[in-house]
Structure 1
Amino acid sequence: MVAIRLLPENDTTNGWSAVLPPRTPRPPLVATITADWAIIGAGYAGLAAARRLAEHRPGDSVIVLEAGAAGEGAQGRNAGFAIDLPHNVTSSLAELEESARYKRLYRAAIDHLDETIRTHGIACDWSRDGRYHAAVSERAVQSVLKPLVAELSRSGGEHRWVDRRALADEIGTDYYTAAVFTPGGYLVNPAALSRGLADTLPGNVTLCENTPVVRFEPGVPSRLVTPKGEVKARQVVIAVNGFADRFGYFRHRLLSFAAHASLTRPLSVAEIAKLKGRARWGLTPANAFAGITMRRTADNRILVRQNVSFRPDLRASDEERARVALHHKRLFDQRFHELSDVTIAHTWTGYICLSRNGAPGFGEVAPGVWASVCQNAVGMTKGTIGGLLLADKALGVRNPLIEDIEAVSGPAWIPPRPALDIGVRARFAFELWRSRAEA
């Protein structure tokens, strides 16, 4: 038996949700029930697993237990990129070594999301706008962008080199030295997408929101206790990302980081006229820890995401967000001098789960207990394909992509705290120092 003492704490600051109409969450669990499948977590992995299980087994009962509300956790707080190609978060280019596998996995996830969005008419600003992967310094051009171009050229991946002048014409700022544009990725409001995926689940899936699991007893069946109810399930899927170690799995293998993001107010007609470039675009930095992720959204806001920090307690304060908002405003002004009157409207915190070797946690972790966690900051596509393939594997459905995800799975061991804190903060400080020119 495991008592879950650290639960998600999602505030109301999420800008992606703030620009949407209000939504009424599904009722919490208030009874003792039995189910064929219990899924813990309604993020991308959990919802994908629920949908696939229900499609394969329409006669099975599937219950999804979500600690908060759909779209209000990490799944609705990311920058809204559905990435289709190998992607580096730090200066490591490890994903390029498994380029073919990652491309197959990512593109299968995007195909699934695209079909689901179209089938159910999910309004989430889903658009194939591609992505600029950009560098500020010449060092990052040589160490990150050039190897990326070499791999894309070798594998036949569609891409375009964009120099400073051309990039300024396309996104409205000459702050960056160069970028690699790849057209296959999508941009989206992640909170709207998460809500839509939750609200269109098959009929044999029951979603219970505001229903955290506070005690877990794995077995046959497993027992999941919530504040006002209980589930006994033949099979369990753990899809809680950085909280997985609280359930007793992947201990000393998961690292949790806080990432802060801001959205500006909508640009005025006059401000839009000043801003050259495309009406919608997304840019990821050569180093996501030091650099700035940016987007121009469908409603003419600019997103800025930076200020990533090691956060094993999975908590951030309003005071911290206020400081971050000021910092994001300075970053915005550096890039868009002519828009200095534009204010920050929303600043929020989301949490990402990383492993030391960039590998996810995937597979059967105990008899009748399955897990798909640790998406390493590419949650929309890695989480989606992880959930789909986990369902296939649990049901014995043949899918050649299972071999791909298993080949890149297995989070590496990390030391216990407090040695972990010292090591991670030292490594993180070095990463920031080495890539400081990307800020």
Structure 2
Amino acid sequence: MKINRLPKDDKTNGWSAILPGRTARPPLAGDVTADWIVLGAGYAGLAAARRLAQNCPDQHIVLLDAGQAGENASGRNSGFAIDLPHNVGSSLDELEGSHRFMRLARMAIDHLEEAVKTHDIACDWSRDGKYHTAVSPRGTRDVLEPFVKELEALNEPFTWIDGADLKAKLGSDHFTAAVYTPGCVLMNPAALTRGLADTLPENVTLFENSPVTEAQFENGVTFTTPGGTVRTPKLIMAANGFSEQFGFFPRRFLHLVAHASLSRRLTETEQRAYGVAAPWGLTPVNAFAGITMRYTNDNRILIRQGLSYCPSQRVSAAEQAAVKRRHKKLFDQRFPMLPEVEMEHTWSGIVCLSRNGAPGFGQLAPNIWSAVCQNAVGVTKGTFGGILAADMATGHDNPLIADMKSLGEPEQLPPRPFLDLGVRTRFQWELWANRHEA
């Protein structure tokens, strides 16, 4: 089977650009045999490889990635390890589903935090929590107030903040109200991904810059790269949306692109004008019209805005330039006291979603398991998906596997071009219907 579409690093990721240089692991060279292949060194693949190494200490695991750790989608997100479901329902079944998700997400956060502390990974890991924010009274009424009732039903801590108190927290009067929840962790995602890749157990071999160009699934698994081949009896697929190229989950995944910009560091004078000392992160009540933002430990401001359908999984330089201009305008609207601050880095990341929000998890064949499709919550969903795929593959009895299975399976999508028309129409409707949250 020829692999026709490969990941492409356009070297724009701002999170990695502000870090010290890193030497990548050597690419695959020659013919290698091992006990396991894990494909994809994002959160799912890193977690799966680490767990396999723990469960099978006498076996050799190969972790294969088309690019470099921290430069793929896992290193390009906004740096939120989210512990709560985005949409909480009020029925008993929906609340129990929320409890299951929280068990999974908090297990993932604990797993990552242990790795960060054990290996002293410098990634600005901090349990700062997050603000779920509304711009308009309608957003407050329709989303934040029901969210509060559901958090109360879940017995989850929160703080309601509005008015001058919210402006003091965020340094902007653009937002009407927010619900603060303390369980979210903020970090530099590229630094976290790099650190996880550089501290793998000894029985894991990571090959970077090793795109798979051909795959065979007879008598085990054989992957061919430009430099060689790797053969193993067992595979954990963690290549997210690119798993389609290998024949898995056909017509199950939507490919979207999200855009982000990171400002230069604020000067001391600008920090005083801004007037906020503590780092923060916020998510909007509507992901289409609203903006995800952060104020980082090193005094930068992140804006992530712009979500669009991208079946090609490619973004042009012209599109990124337009995004940078738009993000600067949005920045100026929210922080008029910082007119000279420019967007130092602008980049894009590909997001894999399923129609019903379900992951691509489980056993696909007698020797193949998967942990893909994190539905835009990659840090936690990728991590717990990888851990549980490894436990399932090695026969380890983990009660959280049942929680993972309860999330369902990706639904089939309509054929193209009907899919393209439907998705783009839905996006335009979401933007128009929620324009009050822009």
- Bin the TM-score by the shorter chain: over 0.9
Q: How far 1:142 moved relative to its partner?
A: 2.2
Letter in 2 for 1:4: I
Corresponding residue number in structure 2 for 1:106: 105
CA distance in 2, matches of 1:120, 1:394: 26
Closer, same or farther in 2 for the Cα pair 1:95/1:433, shift >3 Å?
A: farther
Letter in 2 for 1:275: Y
Instruction: Name the SS for the 1:127 alignment partner.
Output: coil
Corresponding residue number in structure 2 for 1:268: 267
Q: How far 1:314 moved relative to its partner?
A: 0.5
Corresponding residue number in structure 2 for 1:288: 287
Letter in 1 for 2:45: G
Corresponding residue number in structure 1 for 2:152: 153
Corresponding residue number in structure 1 for 2:331: 332
Q: Would the aligned equivalents of 1:88 and 1:287 in 2 still touch at CA under 8 Å? A: no
CA distance in 2, matches of 1:260, 1:96: 32
Q: Check if 1:48 corresponds to 2:43.
A: no
Q: Check if 1:390 corresponds to 2:389.
A: yes
Cα deviation 1:311-341 (Å, max 9, x = unaligned): 0100001111111001000100111111111
CA distance in 2, matches of 1:300, 1:181: 21
Letter in 2 for 1:410: E
Q: Would the aligned equivalents of 2:95 and 2:154 in 1 still touch at CA under 8 Å? A: no
Cα deviation 1:59-115 (Å, max 9, x = unaligned): 1110011000000000000000000111149xxxx9767211111111000000000
CA distance in 1, matches of 2:334, 2:266: 15
Instruction: Name the SS for the 1:338 alignment partner.
Output: coil
Instruction: Give the stretch that moved more between structures: 295-304 or 79-88.
Output: 79-88
Corresponding residue number in structure 2 for 1:315: 314
Instruction: Name the SS for the 2:222 alignment partner.
Output: strand
CA distance in 1, matches of 2:78, 2:146: 24
Q: Check if 1:142 corresponds to 2:137.
A: no
Cα deviation 1:179-216 (Å, max 9, x = unaligned): 11001111000000000000000000000000011111
CA distance in 2, matches of 1:271, 1:279: 15
Cα deviation 1:363-384 (Å, max 9, x = unaligned): 0112211111110100000000
Write the mapping of 1:173-252 to structure 2, written as runs, cut at 5 A. Answer: 173-252=172-251
Corresponding residue number in structure 1 for 2:22: 23
Letter in 2 for 1:266: R
Instruction: Give the stretch that moved more between structures: 365-374 or 191-200.
Output: 365-374
CA distance in 1, matches of 2:58, 2:166: 53
Q: How far 1:218 moved relative to its partner?
A: 1.7
Write the mapping of 1:279-428 to structure 2, written as runs, cut at 5 A. Answer: 279-428=278-427
Corresponding residue number in structure 1 for 2:428: 429
CA distance in 2, matches of 1:310, 1:247: 22
Letter in 1 for 2:144: L
Q: How far 1:228 moved relative to its partner?
A: 1.5
CA distance in 2, matches of 1:245, 1:165: 49
- 5+ long unaligned stretches in structure 1: none
Q: How far 1:172 moved relative to its partner?
A: 0.4
Measured on the aligned residues, the alpha-carbon RMSD in Å equals 1.3
CA distance in 2, matches of 1:96, 1:316: 38
CA distance in 1, matches of 2:163, 2:370: 43
Cα deviation 1:369-426 (Å, max 9, x = unaligned): 1111110100000000000011011111111111111000311111121111011111
Q: How far 1:150 moved relative to its partner?
A: 1.2
Q: Check if 1:57 corresponds to 2:78.
A: no
CA distance in 2, matches of 1:98, 1:422: 32
Paired residues in the alignment total: 434
Q: How far 1:220 moved relative to its partner?
A: 3.0
Q: Percent identity?
A: 57
Instruction: Name the SS for the 2:371 alignment partner.
Output: strand
Q: How far 1:140 moved relative to its partner?
A: 1.9
TM-score, with structure 1 as normaliser = 0.97
Q: Would the aligned equivalents of 1:279 and 1:300 in 2 still touch at CA under 8 Å? A: no
Q: Would the aligned equivalents of 1:96 and 1:148 in 2 still touch at CA under 8 Å? A: no
Instruction: Name the SS for the 1:365 alignment partner.
Output: strand
Q: Check if 1:123 corresponds to 2:152.
A: no
Q: How far 1:278 moved relative to its partner?
A: 4.0
Q: How far 1:277 moved relative to its partner?
A: 2.9
Q: Would the aligned equivalents of 1:86 and 1:96 in 2 still touch at CA under 8 Å? A: no
Q: Would the aligned equivalents of 1:105 and 1:385 in 2 still touch at CA under 8 Å? A: yes
Letter in 1 for 2:149: A
- 5+ long unaligned stretches in structure 2: none
